[in-house]
Amino acid sequence: MKPSFAHSLLYALIPLLLASLACNTLLPPRPKVEWDTDPNALIVSATISGGMVPQSVAINYIPDAQVWGDGRIVWVEYLGDGQRRVLEATLTPDQLRSFLQRAVDDGFFGWEASYADYNVYDAATQCLSLTLTSSSKSVCEYVRGAPRAFHTLYGEVASGLGLTGSDYRPERGYLTAQALNYEGQPTPEVMLHWPADSMGLSLSDAAGGAWVEGEALELAWRVVNTNLWGGLVQEGETYYELTLQVPGVSQILPPEP
């Protein structure tokens, strides 16, 4: 039987497709290392998200590292026992260019968008995203499979690219306080008692979310950084679990003011 035109076309295209894949692997795209220098332009993002975590953890999550066009970098250090420290610093143009150039030289823009081992159920997904003037790329790994250089690049930016950094302090945040019912159960260990009078804010007023600044923000920020897995505060006879979303920094952004 004679092959149809469609089959003949497919046979002709297969070598071209294979050649294209080989080129992306052996001779990956090498975009010029130029980026938007706008302070609001996100150039690098390193995240680990998903998996079996409580909703509060997902809401409180801040990417492992973020770099903006002016070189500002915000990254997270995990200290154990559910604690984290959020740091910020500023990269020089040469420092940012050096990192981006290493990514280009390692073949980042020719890697697959996703590497995964689905034999493992409900794990987290690790992603590294880069945005240049001429090209943008996101590479994600679920469990395993990504090139070794992926983890090297991720580890470098997630540790602040060698900078020391200072504690990041948000200027505004969106606080949500979820009341918890422990009736008939052992009394939980609370992190602190919320001073509603001095704060000028009762947590019951933040049940549906409330924008906070000043001392209320500082206290909520300390709570969520001390225990990402559910730091409890008490106001009166009621226990609350707090989540805090910081504009421009949290992965799940708060609603518009």
Radius of gyration of the chain (CA): 23
pLDDT at 15 over 90: no
pLDDT given at position 183:
74
| pLDDT tens string 48-57 | 998 888 889 9
Question: Whole-number mean pLDDT of the chain?
Answer: 89
Query: Mean pLDDT, to the nearest integer, of 94-117?
Result: 98
**pTM exceeding the 0.75 threshold for the entire prediction:** yes
Fold classification of 42-167 is Mago nashi protein (3.30.1560)
What is the distance between the alpha carbons of residues 100 and 90, in angstroms, rounded to a whole number?
A: 15
Q: Which residue has the higher pLDDT, 67 or 22?
A: 67
Q: Which residue has the higher pLDDT, 14 or 106?
A: 106
pLDDT at 21 over 90: no
Q: Is residue 167 within 8 Å of 86, Cβ to Cβ?
A: yes
Domains in the chain: boundaries: 1-28, 42-167, 173-245
The two beta strands, 114-116 and 136-142, are: parallel
pLDDT given at position 17:
46
Q: Which residue has the higher pLDDT, 200 or 8?
A: 200
CA dihedral 234, 236, 240, 245 (to 10 degrees): -90
Q: Which residue has the higher pLDDT, 103 or 198?
A: 103
Query: Mean pLDDT, to the nearest integer, of 175-198?
Result: 85
Query: Mean pLDDT, to the nearest integer, of 83-88?
Result: 96
CA 118 to chain centroid: 22
What is the distance between the alpha carbons of residues 240 and 204, in angstroms, rounded to a whole number?
A: 9
pLDDT given at position 3:
52
pLDDT given at position 97:
98
Band (pLDDT 50/70/90 cuts) for residue 22 is: very low
